Amino acid sequence: MQIYLPIAELSVNVFLLLGLGGAVGLLSGMFGVGGGFLMTPLLIFSGIPPIVAVATEANQIVASSVSGVLAHWRRDAVDVKMGLVLVFGGSIGAGVGVTLFRYLRDLGHVDLLISGAYVLFLGTIGSLMLAESLKAVIRRRRGTVKRRKLHQHMWVHGLPFKMRFRKSKLYISAILPMGIGFLVGVLAAIMGVGGGFIMVPAMIYLLGMPTGVVVGTSLFQIIFVTAIVTMLHAVNTQAVDVMLALILLSGAVVGAQVGAKLSGKIRGEELRTLLALMVIGVCARMAYGLVATPEDPFSVVPALG
């Protein structure tokens, strides 16, 4: 069954979209990640215009983060104060990101910006994850477990504007979470991701937050930042396709529930290795698109204005 997407302005198979949503939802349920970094590239690979893919995915992530955060909220595992500081940085980042996005779109480089950002971030994160999870697998096989310190003190902890984050048991400079929020906000705007894959490691390793509140707080701030990104894209690029978002969402919520049930049955390290390989796979496909000789070096778009 084909459906005509009003903003993307093309006709796509509904079951393909539901399947995509379901598959990415399954993975996000299994791994506890948002899935934007998989969904946006898959939409682009299946022919949705990159601008629409990014803007619409931001909208979809709002929904999936809301449904994700509620469970953490009930367990009181959200550091609201930290979340709001992250959102403050994130909203500035989102503004900068959408402005950059629009500027490069007018120059004809926005596809390059999206692919480039994906290759850079997925490549880095994927390699780090792969190395880390492989090490963990080897360590477990050898049977040695090293204890980690609660958190380490680095130069960043000497910055001014210190704030107390009671739930995270931290007394640190607000500049650091704001900076992280800013970076993630930029990425959300240009990549159509929630940024959990950067936010979660940054919270653990850079901020030193206790792991119990990390995921809930990350989801909490993702809701706000992706909502702001959705708004900014709606106004600046008119590329948010509500119909596409709702179809993806219906597939994703079901997939996420199934994934969450499955995740208990697979060992953590293997799961992380699998995720790392997927991240690297998407990165490689994006990189191939940048370097492979195109079928036709010319492209045609309706001129703006």
Q: In whole angstroms, what is the distance from residue 296 CA to residue 305 CA?
A: 26
| Number of residues lying near other proteins (CB under 8 A) | 56
The overall longest dimension of the chain from CA atoms, in Å, is: 65
In the chain, the N- to C-terminal Cα span, in Å, equals: 35
**Could you give the angle at the alpha carbon of 219 between the alpha carbons of 215 and 221, nearest 5°?**
120
253 binds other proteins (CB under 8 A): yes
Identify the three-state secondary structure at position 102.
helix
Identify the three-state secondary structure at position 171.
strand
Identify the three-state secondary structure at position 170.
strand
**Which one of residues 112, 156, 175, 204 is an interface residue with other proteins (CB under 8 A)?**
112
Pick from 30, 38, 61, 39: nearest CA to 221: 61
Outline where 108-241 has alpha helix (H). Answer: 110-142, 175-191, 196-201, 211-236
**Which one of residues 6, 19, 158, 268 is an interface residue with other proteins (CB under 8 A)?**
6
Considering only residues 156 through 175, tell me which ones interact with other proteins, judged by CB under 8 A.
none
120 binds other proteins (CB under 8 A): no
9 binds other proteins (CB under 8 A): yes
71 binds other proteins (CB under 8 A): yes
- Mark residues 284-303: x for contact with other proteins by CB under 8 A, - for none: ------xxxxx-xxxxxxxx
- Fill in the DSSP letter of residue 74: H
CB of 301 to other proteins, least distance (A): 5
- CB-nearer residue toward other proteins: 145 or 300: 300
Q: In whole angstroms, what is the distance from residue 73 CA to residue 9 CA?
A: 38
Scanning 91-99, 132-140, 196-204, 234-242 for contacts with other proteins by CB under 8 A, the matching segment is 234-242
Considering only residues 20 through 59, tell me which ones interact with other proteins, judged by CB under 8 A.
59
Scanning 15-23, 66-74, 159-167, 277-285 for contacts with other proteins by CB under 8 A, the matching segment is 66-74
2 binds other proteins (CB under 8 A): yes
Identity of the residue numbered 192: G
Binding site for other proteins (CB under 8 A): 1-7, 9-11, 59-60, 62-68, 70-71, 107-109, 112, 223, 227, 230-235, 238, 240-243, 245-246, 249, 253, 257, 290-294, 296-303
